[in-house]
């Protein structure tokens, strides 16, 4: 028997078209999210403790994603009825209503995104794909089954990507960097003339000509 080919999109690639069944009906991704960002995240299985904590955490931050023109889309290889029952269980027992769709994927879809966990059957890894409003993959995170994700970091990453697109690179831990707080890093000069002039630019603060930063535009 031929092994199923496992692949995944790379940063900057177009997100592959997926025709899927979800708890909110059939969808075509990324087409149905045209003009919006979305975070597609997979989980190993429904009715598991770590995944349940993750879904509650994502829902608690759902409005923060919507404020960034960003949707959430969950996914595992469980069947639709399992997703529906699990969502019902979370609402009834944890008083949290999951408002975003969950894809009932098959192995082919999971393999297409590199989400199958090596050596652990058909379980999907904890993958995160951040896709922009042009359908391009901007960020990928992969976690093992044993470690739950930090949803505040995912919110921060979406916000940082959107800021970087308009203003420049953001530092480590943005917006609370130890050196420059929420300021934006200016790309280093690529010629000697610009390097010499950089330190004279009154709109910038610099450690050196190659490490300058500017105020964040609110």
**0.85 exceeded by pTM:** yes
d(CA 50, CA 64): 22
d(CA 175, CA 167): 14
Position 6 pLDDT exceeds 60: no
Q: What's the burial of 72, exposed, middle or buried (CB within 10 Å: 0-12/13-18/19+)?
A: buried
Every domain of the chain and the residues it spans: 18-149, 168-214
Position 111 pLDDT exceeds 80: no
**Fold classified for 18-149:** Glutaredoxin (3.40.30)
CATH superfamily for 168-214 is: Antioxidant, Horf6; Chain A, domain2 (3.30.1020.10)
The widest CA-to-CA distance across the chain, in whole angstroms, is 67
Position 72 pLDDT exceeds 90: yes
**Structure-token pair, residue 71:** 């949707």
- The model's confidence at residue 119, banded by pLDDT at 50, 70 and 90, is low
Catalytic residues: 51
Position 1 pLDDT exceeds 50: no
E-strand ranges in the chain read 18-22, 25-29, 37-42, 70-76, 102-104, 126-131, 137-143, 184-186, 205-208, 211-214
Q: Which percentage of the chain shows pLDDT scores above 90? A: 80
d(CA 129, CA 71): 12
Encode pLDDT of 88-102 as tens digits.
999 999 999 999 999
């Amino acid at each position: 028997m031929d092994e199923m080919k496992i692949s995944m999109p790379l940063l900057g690639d177009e997100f592959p078209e997926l025709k899927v069944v979800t708890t909110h009906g059939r969808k075509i991704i990324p087409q149905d999210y045209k003009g919006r960002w979305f975070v597609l995240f997979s989980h190993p299985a429904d009715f598991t403790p770590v995944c349940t904590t993750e879904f509650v955490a994502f829902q608690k931050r759902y409005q923060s994603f919507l404020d960034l023109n960003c949707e959430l889309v969950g996914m595992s290889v469980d069947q639709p009825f399992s997703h529906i029952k699990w969502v019902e269980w979370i609402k009834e027992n944890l008083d949290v209503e999951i408002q975003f769709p969950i894809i009932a994927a098959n192995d082919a879809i999971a393999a297409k995104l590199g989400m199958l966990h090596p050596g652990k059957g058909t379980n999907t890894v904890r993958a995160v794909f951040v896709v922009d409003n042009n359908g391009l993959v901007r960020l990928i995170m992969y976690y093992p089954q044993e470690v739950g994700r930090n949803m505040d970091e995912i919110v921060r990453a979406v916000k940082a990507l959107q800021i970087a697109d308009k203003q420049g690179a953001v530092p480590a831990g943005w917006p609370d960097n130890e050196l420059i707080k929420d300021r934006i890093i200016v790309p280093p000069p690529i010629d000697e003339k610009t390097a010499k002039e950089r330190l004279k630019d009154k709109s910038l603060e610099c450690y050196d000509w190659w490490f300058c930063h500017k105020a964040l535009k609110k």
